[in-house]
Amino acid sequence: MKFKDQYQFVSQNIKKNKIRVFMTVLATAIGCAFLIVLASVGFGLHDSILKETMEDRAVTEVQVHGRETDGNYQPLTDEDIDFFESLEGVKAVTRNKQLYQTPTYKLEDYQAQSNTLVSHFPSEVKAGLELSEGRLPEKENEVIVGYNFRSNLLLSDVNQEELYNDQDEPKDKYLYQDSLIGKVMDMEVIQINDNQEETKSISLKIVGVTEKPGREWEEDRSVYISNSVLKEVEEFTGTARGMVDSPGGEQQGPELEIGAYDQVTIYATSIETVKQVSEQLETENYASYSVISEMEQINILFTIMKAGLILIGTIAVLIASIGIYNTMTMAVTERAPDIGIMKAIGAKPKIIKRIFVLESSLIGLAGAVIGTIVAYVISFAVNIGLPLIIESAFNEELPPGLKFSMIPWTLVLIAVGICLVVTILSGLRPAKRATQIDVLKAMRREV
């Protein structure tokens, strides 16, 4: 018996019991829609969080915090940097040292106190450092400043109360208004010798301003100096990183190794090589962190969540399958005489079984298709309606681009697959019963 004939046979049978089959398809569709919509929440939130993570930080970044030796973390030195640069898949290794005092920067009548970092500019360029204006330093006394450095640069002869407004923000009129590029400012560092504060002034030329930080709440007010400027500071203070001695003659901060870096970031050539680089670092006992590894954690968490939601949704489909079982059992009972006649004239049990399994599969498929369409409509409505409801009810603005529900094609495949498997399984028992119908009893209408 050809498939087309089986299909025609089944569709004739379905037409005979339109209402009953429609109700069963409806139950399956509701079950399937419930499964998809429920799981789509997991998919939507997962997608939103991943996008947020990807947008915030460079995906190819691997931050290295130190190396574990004999149970202790050792700071990273040039030797480690050389090793990182030798690794396969590494595009650049940027490294920063922190100046362990906050110098005062003076530009004309304005002054600022800013965090100062020592950067290796060639590696920053390789890593793709972008400036909002100007260029990268080429000479020893050239520096770049953070995008928000200007907010620190305030008129020096105004008293503190006058400088700030009610929100504790500096008033615009006291901020430096001209372009910073090409301006020479003095960096004043201090050291305490014999309880006397000594000051050293180093002239620095601003040649560039960094790009605006990615997130609105982030600010970059730092000054990025070169290694030679750091050496000048260290020579003056006589301490590593320009650390200021306390009046008693002791250092105020932690013990520091000269040449050790505070922040080392490896940039991989592509997303695919991040994992490879991280694994090599792990083998060599380096403590590292990458967005990819964080994403793995997020992925694991959401995969478990999605699996859980799909499982709960499957219960709805299982409930619908009871309807299919009932419908198919009734169909077998009603058609028992016909089955008997078919068997008598030569229908193999396999064909009888296939006809009934096909019928339950068609019910399942129809339910899955309708359920999927309904789920897409619900998902669309939820993504539009829910933010509006939340915003009006709780008066809170939701992050832009947040998706409550997302239905990827994989979810549709999973849901349709589950629906089909469940419906086929629920149709199997009645189908088997059909094959076991006794020909003589069926023809005598005794079944």
Partner 1 sequence: MITVKNLYHQFELGKKGNKTTLPVLEDISFRIQEKEIVAIKGRSGSGKSTLLNLISGFIRPTQGEIWINGTNVTELNETDFAEFRLQYIGFIFQNFQLIPSMTAFQNIELPLILKGTPASARQKIVEETLEKVGLQNHKEHYPSELSGGQQQRVSIARALVLNPPLILADEPTGSLDSETEENLLHFIEQLNRDLGITFLIITHDEQVARIGNRTIEIADGSLLEGSDSREI
The residues of the shown chain that bind partner 1, judged by CB under 8 A, are: 1-2, 4-5, 9, 12, 16, 338, 340-351, 439-440, 443
- In what helix (H) or strand (E) does residue 127 lie, and over which residues does it extend? helix 121-127
347 or 420: CB nearest partner 1: 347
Whole-number minimum distance, CB 433 to partner 1, in Å? 15
The least distance separating partner 1 from the CB of residue 21, rounded to whole angstroms, comes to 15
Q: Return the ∠ at Cα 412 (arms to 407 and 413), rounded to 5°.
A: 145
- C-beta closer to partner 1: residue 193 or 436: 436
Give the DSSP H/E element, type plus range, for residue 197.
strand 196-210
Closest Cα to residue 77, out of 87, 64, 92?
A: 64
3-state secondary structure of 440: helix
SS3 315: helix
**Cβ of residue 294: shortest distance to partner 1, in angstroms?**
59
Closest approach, Cβ 389 to partner 1, in A, equals 52
Distance of alpha carbon 243 from alpha carbon 241, whole angstroms: 6
Nearer to partner 1, 12 or 297 (CB): 12
Task: Work out how close the CB of 346 gets to partner 1 at its nearest, in angstroms, rounded to a whole number.
Answer: 3
Whole-number Å distance between alpha carbons of 375 and 200:
70
Query: With respect to partner 1, which residue has the nearer C-beta, 3 or 217?
Result: 3
Looking at residue 145, what DSSP letter applies? E
Residue 66 φ/ψ, nearest 5 degrees: 165, 180
> Which H or E run contains 193?
strand 184-193
Q: Which is nearer to partner 1, 337 or 408 (CB)?
A: 337
Dihedrals phi, psi of 170, to nearest 5 degrees: -65, 140
Closest separation in Å from C-beta 359 to partner 1: 15
Q: What whole-number distance in Å separates Cα of residue 226 and Cα of residue 244?
A: 20
Nearer to partner 1 by C-beta: 5 or 78?
Answer: 5
Cα–Cα dist 226/97, whole Å: 10
Nearer to partner 1, 12 or 392 (CB): 12
Nearer to partner 1, 1 or 49 (CB): 1
> What residues contact 405, with CB distance under 8 A and at least 6 apart?
37, 40, 41, 43, 44, 378, 379, 382, 383
Give the Cα separation of 291 and 283 in Å (integer). Answer: 19
Least gap, CB of 348 to partner 1 (angstroms): 5
In degrees, rounded to 5, the angle at the alpha carbon of residue 390 between the alpha carbons of residues 373 and 304 is 60
Closest CB 23 distance from partner 1, rounded Å: 21
Buried b (16+ CB within 10 A) or exposed e, 237-261: bebbbbbbbeeeeeeeeeebeeebb
CB of 332 to partner 1, least distance (A): 15
Q: Which is nearer to partner 1, 146 or 340 (CB)?
A: 340
